[in-house]
A and B are shown apart, each in its own frame.
Chain A
């Protein structure tokens, strides 16, 4: 039995997690919120050492904690800001894996109790099966997500004939195994269930295209939260139950928010490719004529404008050009030109990712304007400079119902007097569809690596 003082501390931990999430949802309180969460989590993990009378293997446990903490700390410190999304996916995956393993160890205890003739509550078994299955789904799904974002495999949707059948079959298999496990607990069933869970996780994420992967990370994050909650019930631990449920609920809500920002439903994101929907993109360069220009021409366009809006995209981050871009904006501002950054909610690889990247380059927070606020201003803008972005200004989202991004709100860059694209090539964006805006008469293209070309534009503007 858990002593009252420990239960009260668990309660305090649960409250701290609520405050942490609350803090994380406001810009001023976010960092404090995260620290509260971290402090509560560390203290919570110390509690069992003080009340479990005959805790075994303490040195080994401490060593394992040290190894894991060092690994997590190192990974979190060295990761590039551009690689943040896949890091979050990886951390989420190992969390899901840990939950599944915890449930398997607990299942081992349950099987022994069962053999000894003791009654095991049915609902405990249901929760155990749930934790094993969903934890394994979350683990495998997150690893595939990681591989897609890290470009260890193709980021395009992977579909093969019969995938829906195999996926449906493995889901049914998982349910049947869970029912069997609840009726007759056994280790073998538990392990097979975990393996089927891994298969379900892989099949769930394979058909999802790279641009939609962030939504999947958020969804799998919610899954892991729910497994932790179920694990808390199995272990009769209120803190795990509350913490897991908080993450499960807020993660699900956040997933819906993000999907809403892209104008897509979660079902469409997960299963769209199975219906042949988002495989439309050709992924090939077009050879239609475009108007391209040199850095000097672009410098003149920018240098003599009154109002400029920058649309940054993931390409900016890949080229590590955010610092050069900020310098250019500083020079333009010094010439008395009004310059703002238009931030699409899903610019970058995850919602809010672009804000993190630009904040890293010390762009003032006030210059970053969200889509809804800035969309009315494009028609009064002389030049829109699109740096490494594509899908977020693609008018196909408004006009082409068959496009995978159809319905996604976009930045109205096409309303400006001039549009300048900085692009590496004519290759389509992440969603794999052609951008009509590139062929507009008011559009100018400047080809090359963003950092390199921005540097040249910067020099040319300074010389004006």
Chain B
């Protein structure tokens, strides 16, 4: 199997997995799910680190660093904001024992 076909295989299978795993989501969770998926693509940070770490050109370095900042905003902000939303769904009973855990 040529390398291109391997990549194509991974791609096609991922498409089906991506649809399948969320196919039963209730509309209540659409917003957190969108936000969580949004955070996952923040993993482009990994790509930004890889290209920035291998460049010798100064302009490319600056562009790469900007990409790192933007990707980190996407990734960290995305997961934190999703957690904040979900926190509210989980808290069923009035906070008693875990009131101390909640951050100020």
The interface of chain A, by Cβ under 8 A from chain B, is 13, 17-18, 20-22, 24-27, 30-31, 33-35, 37-38, 41, 44-45, 47-49, 52, 55-58, 60-61, 64-65, 67-69, 71-73, 75-77, 79, 81, 84-85, 87-88, 91-92, 94-95, 97-99, 101-102, 104-106, 108-109, 123, 217-218, 221, 224-225, 227-229, 231-233, 235, 237-251, 253-254, 257-258, 261, 343, 345, 350-353, 355-356, 359-360, 362, 364-365, 368, 370
CB neighbours of A99 from chain B (8 A) = 41, 44, 47, 71
Q: List 24 A-B contacts (CB under 8 A).
A: A17-B40, A25-B29, A27-B26, A31-B86, A45-B49, A49-B49, A64-B69, A72-B80, A76-B80, A91-B81, A92-B41, A94-B74, A98-B71, A99-B71, A101-B64, A218-B34, A221-B37, A231-B44, A235-B51, A245-B11, A246-B14, A249-B14, A257-B30, A343-B28
**Do the beta carbons of A239 and B28 come within 8 Å of each other?**
no
CB neighbours of B17 from chain A (8 A) = 18, 246, 249
**Do the beta carbons of A101 and B63 come within 8 Å of each other?**
yes
CB distance from A265 to the nearest CB of B (A): 18
Bound Cα distance A365, B41 (Å): 30
Bound Cα distance A390, B50 (Å): 50
**Do the beta carbons of B37 and A68 come within 8 Å of each other?**
no
Bound Cα distance A400, B19 (Å): 34
**Do the beta carbons of B34 and A217 come within 8 Å of each other?**
yes
CB neighbours of B7 from chain A (8 A) = 233, 241
Bound Cα distance A249, B22 (Å): 10
Which of chain B's residues has its CB closest to A232's CB?
A: B47
Q: Counting chain A CB atoms within 10 Å of each CB, which of B15, B30, B90, B92 scores highest?
A: B30
**Do the beta carbons of A237 and B39 come within 8 Å of each other?**
no
CB distance from A258 to the nearest CB of B (A): 6
| Residue from A38, A71, A77 in contact with B73 in the complex, judged by beta carbons closer than 8 Å | A71
Assuming the A-B contacts A105-B64, A237-B46, are A30 and B80 also in contact, with contact meaning beta carbons closer than 8 angstroms in the complex? no
Given A45-B75, A92-B38, A102-B67, 5 more pairs with CB closer than 8 A: A26-B29, A30-B32, A45-B49, A97-B67, A249-B14
Q: Cβ of B96 < 8 Å from any Cβ of A? A: no
CB neighbours of B83 from chain A (8 A) = 31, 34-35, 38
Which 3 residue pairs of A and B lie closest in terms of their CB atoms, listed nearest first? A68-B72, A72-B77, A249-B18
The interface of chain B, by Cβ under 8 A from chain A, is 4, 7, 10-11, 14-19, 21-57, 60-61, 63-92, 94
CB neighbours of A91 from chain B (8 A) = 35, 38-39, 42, 73-74, 77-78, 81
CB neighbours of A102 from chain B (8 A) = 44, 47-48, 51, 64, 67, 71
Bound Cα distance A359, B89 (Å): 6
| Residue from B33, B52, B85 in contact with A105 in the complex, judged by beta carbons closer than 8 Å | B52
CB neighbours of A238 from chain B (8 A) = 10
Which of chain B's residues has its CB closest to A52's CB?
A: B53
Bound Cα distance A123, B6 (Å): 14
**Do the beta carbons of A237 and B32 come within 8 Å of each other?**
no
Bound Cα distance A79, B73 (Å): 14
| Residue from B18, B52, B76, B89 in contact with A355 in the complex, judged by beta carbons closer than 8 Å | B89
CB distance from A365 to the nearest CB of B (A): 7
Bound Cα distance A56, B58 (Å): 12
**Do the beta carbons of B77 and A76 come within 8 Å of each other?**
yes
Assuming the A-B contacts A235-B51, A241-B11, are A44 and B81 also in contact, with contact meaning beta carbons closer than 8 angstroms in the complex? no
Bound Cα distance A356, B32 (Å): 9
CB neighbours of A221 from chain B (8 A) = 34, 37-38, 41
CB neighbours of A98 from chain B (8 A) = 44-45, 48, 67-68, 70-71, 74
Assuming the A-B contacts A240-B44, A359-B89, are A41 and B11 also in contact, with contact meaning beta carbons closer than 8 angstroms in the complex? no
**Do the beta carbons of B30 and A258 come within 8 Å of each other?**
yes
**Do the beta carbons of A47 and B46 come within 8 Å of each other?**
yes
Bound Cα distance A311, B65 (Å): 47
CB neighbours of A27 from chain B (8 A) = 26, 28-29, 89
CB neighbours of A241 from chain B (8 A) = 7, 10-11, 14
**Do the beta carbons of A30 and B18 come within 8 Å of each other?**
no
Bound Cα distance A229, B18 (Å): 13
CB distance from B13 to the nearest CB of A (A): 9
**Do the beta carbons of A25 and B33 come within 8 Å of each other?**
yes
CB distance from A437 to the nearest CB of B (A): 23
Which of chain B's residues has its CB closest to A72's CB?
A: B77
CB distance from A22 to the nearest CB of B (A): 4
**Do the beta carbons of B15 and A41 come within 8 Å of each other?**
no
**Do the beta carbons of A65 and B72 come within 8 Å of each other?**
yes
**Do the beta carbons of A95 and B89 come within 8 Å of each other?**
no
**Do the beta carbons of A61 and B53 come within 8 Å of each other?**
yes
CB neighbours of B24 from chain A (8 A) = 25-26
CB distance from A181 to the nearest CB of B (A): 17
| Residue from A33, A38, A57, A240 in contact with B61 in the complex, judged by beta carbons closer than 8 Å | A57
Assuming the A-B contacts A105-B63, A239-B43, A350-B30, are A250 and B70 also in contact, with contact meaning beta carbons closer than 8 angstroms in the complex? no
| Residue from A22, A237, A250, A352 in contact with B27 in the complex, judged by beta carbons closer than 8 Å | A352
**Do the beta carbons of A235 and B11 come within 8 Å of each other?**
no
CB neighbours of A60 from chain B (8 A) = 52, 61, 65
**Do the beta carbons of B80 and A77 come within 8 Å of each other?**
yes
